[in-house]
Amino acid sequence: MNHAQRNRILLILAHIGALLPLARMLADVFSGNYGPDPIREFTLRTGRTALTLLLFSLACTPVSRLSGFKPILKLRRPWGLYSFFYAAVHFAIFIGVDYFFDFALIQDALLEKRYAIVGLLTFSILAVLAITSTQGWKRRLKKNWKRLHRLAYAAGILAIVHFVWLVKPGVVRPWYYAAVLVILLLLRLFPGGRGRRRLAVPRGGARQARLPDPLVDK
């Protein structure tokens, strides 16, 4: 099996893994296995899945740097898009099922419930990142594209705040996500091993091998 085939299998497995939560939710809808409060149940499940996939997307770069496994970088975009998809379903449940598109009530919720405001801001960021994730936008924005897509970390922080405020006090699950995000942020700020290069001695020993300067050799 060559590299292209292995990469294709990895991508297929990533798609299957990202779609499994949706398949399980649909199965629970048709079987009636959703507990006494289905709206809250599916709101939480779609939100958790969106946050999980966002963290998976953010983890691709540090995992690649630490392990040297480059194919995982190809999963950043699909996992990011799946995160937006589940966030969109989460948002649709909020406005369409919970509030029945009653925009007066939705406005009141946004004004009175802080988790709703943070959730809307998170969804807006994910929407912008999804729209601009194409190669066409990457060419248009050039260097600004990377700056824009660093907002994925802001979306992660806001999503966790939204989660903490949404659930009852004392629920610890959001803090597990927070711990993972802190680790990813630390790896982003202090990427151990980035810029390491093998020291090569020039033929004939004409010049001494130069140590990489971390402020220059990035």
pLDDT digits (tens, 9 = 90+) for 69-93: 999 999 999 999 999 999 999 999 9
pLDDT at 193: 52
Listed residue (198, 176, 215) closest to 68, CA to CA: 198
Q: Burial, 15: exposed, middle or buried (Cβ in 10 Å; 0-12, 13-18, 19+)? A: middle
Which residue do the tokens 């979306």 mark?
A: 155
pLDDT exceeds 80 at position 214: no
Amino acid symbol at 71: P
Q: Residue 206 pLDDT more than 90?
A: no
pLDDT > 90? residue 127:
yes
Q: Give Cβ neighbours of residue 148 (< 8 Å, ≥ 6 apart).
A: 128, 129, 132, 141
C-beta separation of 154 from 138 below 8 A: no
How would residue 192 be classed by pLDDT, with cut points 50, 70 and 90?
A: low
Separation of alpha carbons 108 and 102, rounded Å = 10
> Above 70 in pLDDT, residue 200?
no
User: How many other β-carbons are positioned within 10 Å of the β-carbon of residue 168?
Assistant: 5
Mean residue pLDDT across the chain: 87
As a whole number of angstroms, the distance between CA 54 and CA 48 comes to 10
Structure tokens at 14: 């990533």
Closest CA to 116 of 131, 105, 130, 100: 105
Q: How far apart are CA 165 and CA 47, in angstroms?
A: 13
Q: How far is CA 85 from CA 70, 92, 144, 201, in A?
A: 25, 10, 24, 51
